[in-house]
Chains A and B, each alone.
Chain A
């Protein structure tokens, strides 16, 4: 079966750095996506990785290792508005997105 694993919840301090991990087992791989979802709102796109390595976009970076079936989302200089759920999703062999359950990130002052 296809599976995406993420921690359920993480807590971090404003101004700090946090790393949210995602491991996946899917039939085929056509890229890994990270989406941010604030409570009661729709998911919004953060990043896309299809090749191994680090993609940096401002305070957010995303890393991929295809051989390990592993990705992480790194958030730097945390702000209170970063409190949200972070969803990992993998595009499988049929270009269908398989979603993780999301990691709820709580930022404390």
Chain B
């Protein structure tokens, strides 16, 4: 079964350092997402990406965050200068279409990258 792969599975960094989280979405999917989940809290939307540009972003996704699709397969999330409150599990997800358009267009999530900022 096709899957979304994420690397690294766990990263520990010092406050103020740059972090890049990597994702390989499912190959025939067109929509890519980053979500985060602080331990014990709800899943929070960060950004969606379609047709090589950001389609939606949340208030969380400020100037410290950026996304890129550098080649035909990778989708990256960069945090320029990490803060303690960026410690969370970051999930990449992809889907064939928008959720609720022509059926479910289910989100498939990767296993996540746990970021710990010290």
Contacts and interface: CB of A to CB of B under 8 A. Distances in A.
A binds B: yes
Interface of A: 30-31, 33, 35, 41-45, 48, 50, 87, 89, 91, 94-97, 99-102
Q: How would you classify the secondary structure of chain A's contact residues: helix, strand, loop or mixed?
A: loop
Given A96-B99, A99-B43, 18 more contacts: A30-B101, A31-B104, A42-B91, A42-B109, A42-B112, A43-B109, A45-B104, A48-B103, A48-B106, A50-B100, A91-B99, A94-B56, A96-B45, A97-B107, A99-B42, A100-B42, A101-B42, A102-B43
B109 A96 contact: no
Interface of B: 41-45, 48, 56, 91, 98-101, 103-104, 106-112
Contacts of A48: 103-104, 106
B42 A33 contact: no
Q: How would you classify the secondary structure of chain B's contact residues: helix, strand, loop or mixed?
A: loop
B116 to A, nearest CB: 14
B56 A97 contact: no
A97 B42 CA distance: 13
B100 A30 contact: yes
A99 B106 contact: no
Contacts of B101: 30, 95
Contacts of A97: 45, 99, 107
A33 B99 contact: yes
